[in-house]
Structure 1
Amino acid sequence: MIPATPDALQTVADAAGLPLYRQVYERFRSAIAEGALKPGDRIPSARALAKEIGVARGTIEVAYSLLASEGYIQARGQAGTVVAPNLQPAARMASAAPAAPAARARPAEAVEDRWPRPAAPLPFQMGLPALDAFPRKIWARLGARHLRGMQPPDLGYPDPAGLLGLRTATAAYLQVARGIQCTPRQVFITSGYNNTMQLIMQALFKPGDSVWVEDPGYPPTRVLL
């Protein structure tokens, strides 16, 4: 279910010169063209959206009717209204407003652009473990058990270095399995290789520093450096 107020629909009161129904229509069309709303995504009911943004229900119904007549959305009765599943990207972009100048890509974005990932995992794919061997049932059971035992403090922001329990277990594993003597305070949990490399580079390197990398090596490393 798409929230009633995505960025493109936050307000209809600040647009001058257009009827309210047209403002709603334009915001939905822009959200679809920009990919904020994707084919098959469910959109709010006319009643819910009218209440959310403070307009008459009829205003939303007119906007929805116009969107439906142009093939942007489809009504599915009790299942609600969705962005047309067969809407093609080219058709969406053809009616989009001119795009704003693209912001300069951050390092992580540059890596994604220059090292695209396949739609489905490939055999022996670099940087990817054997996902078919992952114990998903055990993982799901342990995850459900942990969620049932969570207390309100557990729902707050964790330590920036990572959950203390995970860092403690990691330090113990490193000591037993790898012979590395370290404490939980010396362990940092990151969101992956790219995040780890960025943290290392920001902490250790200065502009103009020289580095050595393997050849052949992991391509995203060169992009990050």
Structure 2
Amino acid sequence: MPTLTRLQLSLLVPLTLIWGLNWPVMKLGVAGYPPLTFRAMSIWLGIPVLAAALVAMKVPFRVARKHWPELLWLAATNMFVWHACIILAVKELSGGRAAILGYTMPVFSAIVGGLFFGNSLNRRSWFGVGAAGVGVGLLLWHELTSLAGKPLYVALALVAAATWALGTQLLRRTTIPVPTLTLSFWMTLLTAFVMTGLGALL
């Protein structure tokens, strides 16, 4: 197993804290704003920061027109569905439960990769997938059997995770000849427009 360098460890700790704080912050946000509107606002706030990072790192913004259909597909599977479904789920579920369901993405990614992209899974990998599936099943069972349960929103969180998993597999295999940061910028910008539109309609 590869070991983490000191720099990687120093980045991992704050990144983990930020990820963890993200969920209660989202829960607070959707308490005061419509979920899709709040998601759109937060994405718009992040775009200037992302753009500044591209400028500072001298990463190009341009994506050739012929690659835009693939870019749209990547944005849909990596961001559109994830942001819309998970923020609606956070509105009705506890932040912790939504986080657990949302971050089943690696499990779905392993399954999608094995079934559709020819990735090989060893016995240990399948055991991990099975164990995670049991955990999700227990959460889902609670929602289905509790009178206060929200099975629809559990399903939304799982759809978000599964679609993100597909998007991750597609992103690994993209043929668009630009840096990943460039793709991230355009996918995020497109998502901001989509969330704004959904927020206005719903």
Normalization by structure 1: what TM-score?
0.23
Relative contact order, higher structure (CA 8 A, sep 6+):
2
Normalization by structure 2: what TM-score?
0.25
Name the one with the larger helix percent.
2
Greater CA radius of gyration, 1 or 2? 1
